[in-house]
Amino acid sequence: MAEFTMELNEDQKQVRDWIHGFAADVIRPAAAEWDEREETPWPIIQEAAKVGIYSLDFYAQQFFDPTGLGVPMAMEELFWGDAGIALSIVGTGLAAIGVLANGTEEQIGTWIPQMYGTADDVKVAAFCSSEPDAGSDVGAMRTRAVYDEAKDEWVLNGTKTWATNGGIANVHIVVAVVDPELGTKGHASFIVPPNTPGLSQGQKFHKHGIRASHTAEVVLEDVRVPGACLLGGKEKLDERLARAREKAAAGGERVKNAAMATFEASRPAVGAMAVGTARAAYEVALDYARTRTQFGRPIIDNQGVAFQLADMRTQIDAARLLVWRASWMAVAGKPFTSAEGSMSKLYASEVAKKVTGQAIQILGGNGYTREYPVERMHRDAAIYTIFEGTSEIQRLVIARTISDMPIR
């Protein structure tokens, strides 16, 4: 287990500077164009693949960093460049985490490479959990998976929504109900291979922010997948369901469902994304305050502006520390006894919304125009308090955890 430190080692600093350079030279100059186009930035994803940022090896190196800081460091730098493009680059990672968290070694080795493709033929993947009537309330999920024992196949039916890369993905990871009587404990995750009949894209959403990232519905109509596409395998699923049934009569047990296992592993990473967006807006505001002159002096000489910037920087640093703590705890195998993962996501998300709004205020009328990037950053920041668990849900998770109440 690595000792906790707030100082990056030399290897981490080199990786950070490399990612930052890509974000500054490739992502940021393209940000406004792809935001306006509201299309997946395939050329940028391909550039990321060519230099090695969009690849299984890169994410594996960061994921298995013994300090736990590899992933949050990478996320912060990429999202400092632009949230929409960065989400297009890292969106596949959520599906990959779903496989890593729930899959067998064979499934990990078989399917994760297909999620990324190659530098010459890039692919993306999608994690499909939310539904039109089941967002924060995962217990309301209706997508069903029924086992056809004669053919050793699972048959999936339902509609997923808010799926990053949904419909355009090479591989879809779908969370479905296998035992409705067990609520969220009766869920399982399935791999839907490329070109599987019955899977189609529903409506594509036109969003307030992160517009370069593709978000759409995924419709499943009698989608048949081999038994080997059940993440973790049927034996493991049967054991888990039997254990859940035994505990149900005794008032329940905190058994992780498939979606929650993925979200729990990814929440600090989302916090790091929010930190990157907040930091980008803060830097624009700081530079503007230093150079913008009113009444014969730079506006940073005004206490009202200077104090805002001081608060912005303090909150960003505090958010990063919460993210780093949760990331280190996860890799060190320390339980989130106070929902530290949710804490990091909650605080960083709220900071991103606040800081980007303050940046607009400091830039005044200029901040409200698309000539400056802070209005886009403010639009992008709104998603952090919504996806992968709203701020309200994070507070509920924290409250129930510190009060030792079950999280259903």
The pLDDT score that the predictor gives to residue 258 is 52
- In a domain, residue 317? The reply is yes
- End of a domain among 96, 116, 136? 116
The pLDDT score that the predictor gives to residue 163 is 96
- The rounded distance, in Å, linking the Cα atoms of 140 and 359 is 39
Instruction: Report whether 220 contacts 198 (CB < 8 A).
Output: yes
- The rounded distance, in Å, linking the Cα atoms of 94 and 259 is 11
Residue 90 token pair: 């890292």
| Pair 218, 285 in one domain | no
- The rounded distance, in Å, linking the Cα atoms of 201 and 405 is 39
Beta bridge partners of 9: none
Instruction: Report whether 145 contacts 158 (CB < 8 A).
Output: no
Residue 182's CATH number: 2.40.110.10
- The rounded distance, in Å, linking the Cα atoms of 372 and 337 is 42
| Pair 228, 289 in one domain | no
Beta bridge partners of 163: 216
- End of a domain among 220, 248, 276? 248
Instruction: Report whether 181 contacts 128 (CB < 8 A).
Output: no
Closest CA relative to residue 207, chosen from 407, 39, 28, 6: 39
The residue length of the chain stands at 408
Q: What is the pTM of this model?
A: 0.91
The pLDDT score that the predictor gives to residue 265 is 61
The pLDDT score that the predictor gives to residue 101 is 83
- In a domain, residue 379? The reply is yes
Closest CA relative to residue 345, chosen from 87, 69, 78, 72: 72
Of 76, 239, 388, 392, the active-site residue reads 388
| Pair 129, 99 in one domain | no
- Residue ranges making up the domain that contains 137: 125-248
The pLDDT score that the predictor gives to residue 266 is 75
| Pair 263, 397 in one domain | yes
| Pair 33, 129 in one domain | no
| Pair 196, 300 in one domain | no
Beta bridge partners of 188: 176
- The rounded distance, in Å, linking the Cα atoms of 331 and 262 is 15
| Pair 346, 303 in one domain | yes
Annotation says 388 is catalytic: yes
Residue 227 token pair: 């038994």
Instruction: Report whether 94 contacts 101 (CB < 8 A).
Output: no
Which of the 8 DSSP states describes residue 23? Answer: I
Closest CA relative to residue 247, chosen from 106, 408, 116: 408
The pLDDT score that the predictor gives to residue 2 is 62
- End of a domain among 116, 143, 161? 116
| Pair 235, 269 in one domain | no
- The rounded distance, in Å, linking the Cα atoms of 188 and 154 is 11
Instruction: Report whether 257 contacts 61 (CB < 8 A).
Output: no
Query: What CA–CA distances, in Å, run from 119 to 51, 59, 175?
Result: 9, 15, 29
Beta bridge partners of 117: 122
User: Total domain count for the chain?
Assistant: 3
First CA to last CA distance, the chain:
31
| pLDDT, one tens digit for every residue, the chain (408 residues) | 567 778 899 999 999 999 999 999 999 999 999 999 999 999 999 999 999 999 988 988 998 899 999 999 999 999 999 999 999 999 998 899 889 888 999 999 999 999 999 999 999 999 999 998 866 666 688 999 999 999 999 999 999 999 999 999 999 999 999 999 888 889 999 999 999 999 999 999 999 999 999 999 999 999 999 999 999 999 999 998 988 888 766 655 444 445 555 556 678 999 999 999 999 999 999 999 999 999 999 999 999 999 999 999 999 999 999 999 999 999 888 888 899 999 999 999 999 999 999 999 999 999 999 999 999 999 999 999 998 889 999 999 999 999 987 665
Closest CA relative to residue 256, chosen from 198, 341, 132: 341
Closest CA relative to residue 80, chosen from 407, 389, 359, 352: 352
- In a domain, residue 398? The reply is yes
| Pair 227, 314 in one domain | no
- In a domain, residue 276? The reply is yes
Sign of CA dihedral 347, 350, 356, 359: negative
3-state helix, strand, coil in the chain (%, to 5): 60, 15, 25
Instruction: Report whether 359 contacts 281 (CB < 8 A).
Output: yes
